[in-house]
A and B are shown apart, each in its own frame.
Chain A
Amino acid sequence: NAGVTQTPKFRILKIGQSMTLQCAQDMNHNYMYWYRQDPGMGLKLIYYSVGAGITDKGEVPNGYNVSRSTTEDFPLRLELAAPSQTSVYFCASTIGNAVGAFFGQGTRLTVV
C-alpha cells in the first residue's frame, strides 16, 4: 500500500542510548518532515527536507539528526537519549500543491 511507513511503533530507551527512527514513503514525495508531539500538545517540527540531499532544522532540532540520501527515506537519529525526548514522533510527506499531507502511524518513545 502506498503511504508513509514509520518504524518502530514503540520503543523504550535508557538515558544515553541512541536509536534511529525509520521513515519511508513510496509516493515520490519531495517534502518530508519529522515532528514530535508531547502529551496534550501540538506538533512541533524537528527537521524537514525538501529533497534528497537537502535537510533543514525546524523548531526543536536539538538532540536529533537527520539525513536524506534518497527521495524515499528520511531517518531520524537520536543521540544520547534524554527523558525530555519522551514523546510521540510522526513522519510526514507532501508533494507540491496537488495532494494532501501523508503521515506515518507514529512512534511512541519513552526514555527512562
Chain B
Amino acid sequence: KNEVEQSPQNLTAQEGEFITINCSYSVGISALHWLQQHPGGGIVSLFMLSSGKKKHGRLIATINIQEKHSSLHITASHPRDSAVYICAVRDQKLVFGQGTRLTINP
C-alpha cells in the first residue's frame, strides 16, 4: 500500500465546475504539499500545510491531521487549470502521491 493515496486518478470536468481532489496518507508527517505539474513538465508548489486551511485565489487546500486527509479544491475551474496535481507528505523525506490528472473542458 502506498504511503500517499490520491483520488481520483483522472478527473474531467466542464469549465466553471467546483473541483475536489483528495489525498490520504498513512504516515506521521510534519507538512503536506500540494504541487502542480503542467504538460511541459515543470513542477510548482501550490501550498504547504501543517494544519487547517489555506486559500490562494481560486485554490483552497485543507488538511485534517487526525484523519490523515487533505483536499485541494478549485472554484470556478478554467481550462488553464488542466494539469496534474500532486500531493506530497514530508517527515524527513518528501513522499509523493501518484497524482491526479485534471482536464477542464471549455
Name A37-71 residues within 8 Å CB distance of B.
41-45, 48, 50, 56, 58
Could you show 21 A-B contacts with beta carbons less than 8 Å apart? A31-B90, A42-B96, A42-B97, A43-B86, A44-B96, A45-B94, A48-B92, A92-B94, A94-B90, A97-B48, A99-B48, A100-B33, A100-B45, A100-B48, A101-B35, A101-B45, A101-B94, A103-B43, A106-B42, A106-B43, A108-B41
Closest to A50 in B: B92
Asked whether, in the complex, the Cβ of A45 is within 8 Å of the Cβ of B95, the reply is: yes
Q: Decide yes or no: A42 and B92 within 8 Å by CB, A97-B31, A97-B48 being known contacts.
A: no
Closest to B44 in A: A103
Q: Which residues in B have some Cβ–Cβ distance to A below 8 Å?
A: 30-31, 33, 35, 41-48, 50, 86, 88, 90, 92-99
B41: which A residues are within 8 A, CB to CB? 88, 105-106, 108
Q: Which residues in A have some Cβ–Cβ distance to B below 8 Å?
A: 31, 33, 35, 41-45, 48, 50, 56, 58, 88, 90, 92, 94, 97, 99-103, 105-106, 108
Taking A56-B92, A58-B93 as known contacts, 14 extra A-B pairs with beta carbons closer than 8 A to each other, sorted by chain A number, are A33-B93, A35-B96, A41-B98, A42-B86, A42-B98, A43-B86, A43-B96, A56-B93, A92-B94, A97-B31, A97-B48, A101-B90, A102-B45, A103-B44
Closest Cβ–Cβ distance, residue A109 to chain B (whole Å):
13
- Give Cα A105–Cα B43 distance, bound, in whole angstroms: 7
